Amino acid sequence: MYRILPQRSRIDAPIAAATALLRWLSVCVLLCLLGAAGFYLLAQLSGNVSQYRRDMNATAYRAQIYFDRREALLNYLTDSVVESASLRTDAHSADDVGVRQLPLGAGRDGRELSLLLSARAERTLSELGARLVLVSDDPYVPRRWLHGEHPLTTPPPPELTASLLRAHAASTGPDVQVYWLVTSGPQRTVYLYRAAEEGPHPLRWLVLVLDPQALTQITDGTGMVGVLLADPQGRPALFSGDDIDLPGGWLHAQHNDAFSFIWDFGFPQGLALVKSIGQDNWHLVCHLPLRTVLRDLMLPFLLSLLCCAAAMATLYVLVRRLDRQLIQPAQQQHRQLLESFDFGSTVIEMAPVGICVLRLRDGNVMVENQLARDWLGADTLHGDWNGDWRRAVALSTASARGVQSIEFKTQAGHLLQVLHAATRYHGDDVLLCVFSDVSRHRQIQEALSAAKQAAEEANQAKSAFVATMSHEIRTPLYGVLGTLELLGRTPLDARQAQYLKTIQQSSSVLLQLISDVLDVSKIESGQLTLAVRTFSPMALGESVVLGYAAAAARKQLQILVCTDPRLPAQVSGDADRIRQVLGNLLSNAIKFTDAGRIVLRVNLVAREAGSATISWQVTDTGIGIPAAEQPRLFEPFMQVANPLRSDGTGLGLSISDHLVRLMNGELRLVSEPGLGSSFTAIIPAGVDEDGQEHDTNAPKLRSHPPVYVRTAHTELADSACQWLRRWGATAYRYNEDMPPLDAAHAILLDSDPHDRVPLAWPGPRVTALATGGELAALDSTHPNSLIVTLHSISAIAEAVALLQQGMLASPSPLPSARDSALGLRVLVAEDNPINRVILKEQLEMLGCTVVTAVDGREALAQFTPEGFDVVLTDINMPQLDGLSLVRQLRLQGAAVPVIGASANATPEDRERCLAAGMDSYLVKPINLCVLRSALTELTTGVQT
């Protein structure tokens, strides 16, 4: 059992009291339940006792009626005894009126007595089952039956003698007329008798012999176990049913009518109803044993017991639930609170800062830890405890709320920082003060500031040195690359062309090295920024692959691009940095792949409101990267250990990883030696939800005739079909086993047919080749067919559109803007004589008329608004630099396009040039393609 008052410590007194109250409450509820069950059983017992009493009263009433009628009959018969003047010869003959005169013998006075027994009286005797006997002391008048069965053959009971009756009558009271007598023995018979004559000593008696079976029928069938007939002295005389074992003392004490429990030695023995019967003061006892009472009470008792058990179980569960869900959690919280208090006190005492609590109303120190005493003194009323910080804290608390901070210096020389805030503690408004010794911190801070400043200065010096070296190297390198490019356009024999190619490759590597070093310097100094603009992810991926198609072809590698048709038409991001990352990945893939293919996949990973996550994946079949070297692959100057590959600087992947992370993306690597590598750059980009589906440059295709795509690459076939469907065409994959029935009226898109069995196609055909151009050209081997590049789905779609419209290109590509003469008049301002000559030669090769100047002042003097279409100027020149030149031109009102050229490849230089009024900015060295694109875009507005 639970303890009513559990032993708890003093700190747990509230919780222990709650537990004790809960247990006392449960005990009270249990007592109430038991009391209710007791009252219920008592009510049931009362109801049963009432029913028992009614049954016993009914039995006693029937017995009373039974004996009263027989006493009345006996009295009637006694009153029918008369004196006879003369006796008849036949004593048993009936008279004329139906009354028999039965002689009883002579009385004490000598006169004859007779019993006048009427027919009605005889019928009553028969109905009542009684027999009439005459008992006399007269030897001449023997005992005989006066009425009853076989009165002549059956003698009267021998125990009935006049002396017995006289003696029994003498033992009763004087007022009794009808006496009762019960014989002993196994066959007990009840006799009612009365003297047949008046006088003190009667000689003749009339006796009614009652039928024992009739008496039993009176008490049987009442539901009682037994009925007892007791004489006036309380002795049991007659039993009905089984013998009734009643306590003798209780039975002798019953002189009056009563209904009560029978008690013996303090224990109940049953219920009994005592009723006086007859004139002889006999008692009728109706008895019900205790086992019958308990048996009738057993069902209510079991119901009560079951209800109490259920209630106790419910109470137990409820108490346990309350204890577990309320008291125990409260006790746990109370203990945790005390533990937290103790822990907080320990933490305050062991804290590495000084802590004190000041009461606001009187300024007394309520709490302080050891460190505060060490710094401010052991006496809280004097010394540094009353320093300037005390007044400053009070003033700042009064003027502002929240955490405040001040500093002061102790007498011992400690520079302390005081953090203080108003709060409440033990019912008072207090000020919590925290002291920190910042002396060492200030020294370290000053040293760190000095070191940081020195590092920043060194970093700036390094950045300036790298930028200067980049500028100084790019300037002569422009002369080398420009001369080599011009030389490449002159007639050369095979050996000279090979030498020229080697020099150009080495120079390109040197230029890439310079750019990488400059990017690393920007990364280390935190100056690398993004230039966000709108671009097409599909066009970007295709243009990058087109740029590396020639390098892959030189190694006889197949390079492919596969773009996701779900890509948005336009996204916003830094396209140049993405191009740089893809260029590094494709360059490495070509470098470390000797056979097989390289695939660039551009897929849409996720699309949300205002943003799209795009995956740029470069996969190759190269040598692969060992797992041990993969974790360090993105570190600067890290290269895979390969005796066959020693070129490169190891900066490309490091720069690419930084650029991807700068664009909030992630660069992943999956590689297996001997199988190849896969680099995936997952980069988020912005999307204009209002204009995302409006692509004005998208090809316009028709649903008829349909297009069948035939290629060895399932991925390319699916991508091409979905792109063509996006642009309006009806596209299907070509099935070799089930050729289409409408081939004559359909277009075949055949990719790389040289690697497959030639296909006889009766209808129009578009052949996509790695050597094809971006503009479709007629295929001389197949009529009504076009050849286009494999690396641009948009170029393929344009060729399909031409076939759908019935417009075929000429047998060779039409002259493009790249090959036509520009016919521009260009003023060139360049202080470096070599670069000036290279620029002049490049512009003249593009079909321009060129006028050169050695600096900005000479260019300003030679400029006339009508004489030039474009001004191309260097930025850093003596006398008058390019920025000043463009400002002077704008001040003169000249609207001529101005292009700035510099060897400084930094975004800051570009922004500075555009802010000064220039229209475009080129980074040296400048090749013919870049120069043509810039001039064409400024003069015609068409980007090439």
Residues in Cβ contact with 88 at an 8 Å cutoff, skipping those fewer than 6 apart: 101
Q: Are 925 and 481 a contacting pair, CB within 8 Å?
A: yes
Q: Is the dihedral of CA 449, 451, 453, 456 positive or negative?
A: negative
The predicted structure's pLDDT at residue 151: 53
pLDDT digits (tens, 9 = 90+) for 729-764: 888 888 777 777 777 778 888 886 555 566 777 778
What is the pLDDT, as a whole number, of residue 383? 76
Neighbours of 641 (CB within 10 A): 9
Give the pLDDT confidence of 566-588 residue by residue, as tens digits. Answer: 888 889 888 888 888 888 888 88
The predicted pLDDT at position 647 comes to: 54
Say if residues 819 and 944 touch (Cβ distance below 8 Å).
Answer: no
What pLDDT, on the 0 to 100 scale, is given for residue 333? Answer: 82
Q: Is the pLDDT of residue 704 over 80?
A: yes
> Beta strands 571-573 and 533-535: pairing type?
antiparallel
Question: Which amino acid would we find at residue 286?
Answer: C
Inform me whether the pLDDT recorded for 783 exceeds 70: yes
Distances from the Cα of 726 to the Cαs of 601, 693, 699, 796, 797, in angstroms?
A: 18, 11, 10, 14, 11
Is the pLDDT assigned to residue 851 strictly greater than 60? yes
Mean pLDDT calculated for residue range 283-298: 83
Q: Is the pLDDT of residue 93 over 50?
A: no
Query: pLDDT (tens digit, 9 = 90+) per residue, 542-570?
Result: 888 887 888 888 888 888 888 888 888 88
Mean of per-residue pLDDT scores for the chain? 78
Tell me whether residue 210 is exposed, middle or buried, using C-beta atoms within 10 angstroms of its C-beta: 0 to 12, 13 to 18, 19 or more: buried
Under 8 Å between Cβ of 637 and 652? no
Position 650 confidence tier, pLDDT thresholds 50, 70, 90 = low
Section 155-174 average pLDDT: 78
Indicate if the pLDDT at residue 224 is higher than 60: no
Which residues are registered as beta bridge partners of 229? Answer: 238, 284
The more confident residue out of 246 and 501 is: 246
Token readout for 878 is 């003596």
pLDDT score, position 90: 44
Q: Are 922 and 828 in contact (CB under 8 A)?
A: no
Q: Tokens in use for 273?
A: 């109803």
The mean per-residue pLDDT over the stretch 616-626 comes to 87
**Distance, CA of 866 to CA of 204 (rounded, Å):** 184
pLDDT at 639: 62
> Which of these, 188, 77, 205, lies nearest to 144 by C-alpha position?
205
**Separation of CA 922 from chain center:** 59
Q: What is the pLDDT of residues 415-444, one digit of tens each?
A: 888 888 888 888 888 888 888 887 787 778
Q: Please give the pLDDT value at position 181.
A: 81
Model pLDDT for residues 397-413, shown as the tens digit of each residue: 655 566 777 777 887 77
What is the spatial distance between Cα 470 and Cα 353, in angstroms, rounded to a whole number? 53
Q: Is the pLDDT of residue 221 over 50?
A: no
Instruction: Give the Cα separation of 223 and 48 in Å (integer).
Output: 13
CA-to-CA distance for 176 and 457, rounded, in angstroms?
Answer: 148
798-831 per-position pLDDT tens digit: 888 888 887 544 444 444 444 567 888 899 998 8
CB neighbours (10 Å) of residue 186? 4
Who has greater pLDDT, 62 or 498?
Answer: 62
- What's the confidence (pLDDT) of residue 669? 85
Residue 886 pLDDT greater than 60, yes or no: yes
Question: Residue 6: which pLDDT band, with cuts at 50, 70 and 90?
Answer: very low
Q: Is 410 helix (H, G, I), strand (E, B) or coil?
A: coil
Q: What percent of the chain has pLDDT over 70?
A: 79
Quickly tell me which residue has 């100094």 as its tokens.
Answer: 525
Q: Is the pLDDT of residue 505 over 50?
A: yes
Asked if residue 94 has pLDDT above 80, the reply is no
What is the identity of the amino acid at 565?
P
Query: Interhelix angle for 328-350 vs 13-79, to 10°?
Result: 170
Cα 125 versus chain centre, distance: 97
Question: Looking at residue 550, what is its pLDDT?
Answer: 80
Burial of 576 (0-12, 13-18, 19+ CB in 10 A): middle
Confidence of residue 232 (pLDDT cuts 50, 70, 90): confident
Question: Has residue 780 got a pLDDT over 60?
Answer: yes
Q: Is the pLDDT of residue 700 over 70?
A: yes
pLDDT above 50 (res 646): no
Highest mean pLDDT among 263-272, 277-286, 305-314: 305-314
652-662 and 575-591 helices cross at what angle (nearest 10)?
A: 150
Scanning 574-647, the segments in alpha helix (DSSP H) are 575-591
More confident position, 267 or 39:
39
Q: How far apart are CA 49 and CA 55, in angstroms?
A: 10
**Mean pLDDT confidence for 460-487:** 64
Amino acid symbol at 589? A
Interatomic CA distance for residues 433 and 418, integer angstroms = 6
Out of 192-206, 638-652, 756-770, 874-888, give the one with best mean pLDDT: 874-888
Mean of pLDDT values over 248-274 = 78
Q: Using CA atoms in the order 753, 759, 764, 767, what is the torsion angle rounded to 10 degrees?
A: 0
The torsion angles phi and psi of 198, rounded to 5 degrees, stand at -80, 155
Task: Return d(Cα 944, Cα 936) in angstroms, integer.
Answer: 8
737 three-class SS? coil
Residue-wise burial string across 684-693, b where 16 or more C-beta atoms lie within 10 A, e elsewhere: bbebeeeeee
pLDDT given for residue 905 in this prediction: 63
Decide if pLDDT at 279 tops 80. no
- Please give the pLDDT value at position 615: 92
Count CB-CB contacts under 10 A for residue 149: 9
